Structure 1
Amino acid sequence: MTSINRHQCFLKNEDLKNYPKISINSIPSRYKLMISSTNGALGKCLFILIALVLNMKYLNFILAISSDPGLSVLSKSAVCYALIDNIYFIFLHFNYNHEFFGQIEDYWNELQINFDYETRKYFWTQQAISRLFTLVTYTSYIAFNYIDSFYGWYTETANNSSKDSFIEDVFHYVLQIIVGPVSYFNKFCQTCIFNDILILAQTALLFSVIKLKKLYIGSVRGKKILNIDVITDLRHKYLSTHRLVEKINEIMSPCLLIMFIHFTLWVIHLSYALLFLDVHQLIKFKRIIQCVIMLMILVFMASLAIRVHIKSQELLMTVYKLSLKTDSIRILSEMTLFLNYNEIGLSFGGLFMLTTSSLSTLFSILTTIVIAIPSFNKHEDTD
């Protein structure tokens, strides 16, 4: 099979590359497994240490809250961010562990498609695109954040020569220098892991889609007779892919919901700051750019999840077309079993399957909330 794929690529004048065996055992994955719940005492200690470091960035807000019982809008939003980040971090600590990773690899090995050249090419090409996109977006986000932070520090120290204020600013920015890299590296690794397992699910479906399309093209041209053993094998692979995606969904479904809630709070906070707070133009610009970058990351990940469902529909549609090209009762029975399976896809917090239409509905709801913010503020003023 590998030689056939390579021969086809040669006929297309395509440069052959020695793509390695498909695996999600990357540096980001090893990092998350290192601090997972199944890594013994070391994993628990590292988890607690990193959790403390990540929560240090909310120290200023906690101090502000303790000194002022009447929480401001910004302080309330900071509490929400801290709560969501901790839930997110704790959830992955207990769920993305060696047991989960081993089950994903077992389901993948069940498919027995690692030999296929086109499959390897798709996985590593998509992963390279995903890595590049993630690296560029996070680098841009971090650059905007630090440029704005140090510019703000410079202007504050120039305008305020108070010793106490200077010490407080130094403490704040030293804290940011320590916490920032850990926080961004953790988020970068999480994003890479999610993208990898979504691409893995796509790759599993891609193999069956390619083989079924070749069978369909052969049947249309009348050159090939459908082989029931091939159909049965592909049906078993589809069932294994079902189990693989269901396992991935155990992680992705809650995380997609958490990420959307986090982004919604970010947009609400940004909209409130732009509309009702006297904020420097540079800070406004930075927050808008960061919000756009977060939106790009979220949409990119959602598109990967949606593509799993699209490939599943494409596969089942091809099976249906094939069923019209045979009169064999045995093959039709096998295809009927194939079509009886549910569509494969990722759910959004267990509420509904993530599709193009559901994603557009989510962002419509988000837009409605943002538009309604001024009316909420007027209501508070009248009270």
Structure 2
Amino acid sequence: MENVVLYPFNKITQGIFRFRDLTDFNVTAVVDFVLHKGCDVGELIEGAAAGIPITDNIEEAFRSANTLILNDPGTSFGNNEGVYGEFNLKELWRVLVLAAHEHNIRIISVHEILDQNTLQWLEENQITIDIDEQIPDRLVSRMVDEYAFPSPTDEMTTYLNYFELDTKIKTYNQRICKVGIFATRGCLGKFTAQMSLFRELKKAGEKVRTIITEPTASLFNQPGGDIMKFIARRPLNQYPYYINAAVRDAENDGCDFIILSGQGSLLPNENFIIAATKISYLRAFSPDLTVLIAGYDDDEQIRDSLDILRIYGNGSRSFAILIPDKYEVDFGQYEFKTPEEMERRKQEIRSRFDVDHVECVLDIGKLTSELIKHRKSISQ
């Protein structure tokens, strides 16, 4: 994998582009049949041209590519049902994939392809799509070898077991600094904060690993932590042990830091098993420092989240609260906050909540030196 075309131009593709310096491939083009055709990706995301076009011209996109990375499984998902139907994206996906196959371009998907009609079409056309590995076999093997899992019984027993992890899970040393990034709700910038901090710590000479819960972990050569990817292979109640195994693996490799970004909101939802899972992997990760990302009108959710982190986060300090610079309001459409709005919100948070730092998500790199100081203090 050397010269890569991405499809389509969505949130995950933007994340791959924004942190492309942390990958070992070059992005040469982005194919999209809906958004920003004719634009330069860099101008849209970073404000400066990067020489990487967004195009609906497949032949042009494939001119210098040897790999196509699909961030779309060929059927609608997430919040794109309306767009999928309006622009006939199911058929255009097939046109794109067939063209890549005919050009002898390797095709990788970051999502599992589960739709039977799509699978049948691929088989009929003798097209192979490699599914991006999310959950490393070495960590699964380590988890199986090291832990005695509670026997699955009824849902309530499984639920209660999640709150007794500290009596079942193996302990580890405290040389590594564990940073947990969580949010009051989804789509506030957890991945951006995680990867920005990952980049800045690497630049500072720290040995750092990050557990990526987006479906792109292996593209950054990091372990994945997507719950849905995990339960495709193992029972859900083993997920906290997998997270703990990832921390132990990083520590054994001599890492100074490991960063985990939670999925979705930290707060419970109506599914008590999923809610308990959030608590259990928080306890299994056992962060030394936590970063909470919050919105502009959710003080009550901030209080609840800080309580959860204090009670179930092994007494970890709430090191910082971050706010986003934009919200996604519709498919591919964002509402941007002005500098004045961001500064006003930061001042509100400083006055209402007892945390060390309040910054914009994009400015998490400013916290790097403080994190290194803390890491040195716990390793002594």
The TM-score with structure 1 as length reference comes to: 0.26
> Which has more strand, going by share of residues?
2
Relative contact order (alpha carbons < 8 A, sep ≥ 6): 1 or 2 greater? 1
> Which has more helix, going by share of residues?
1
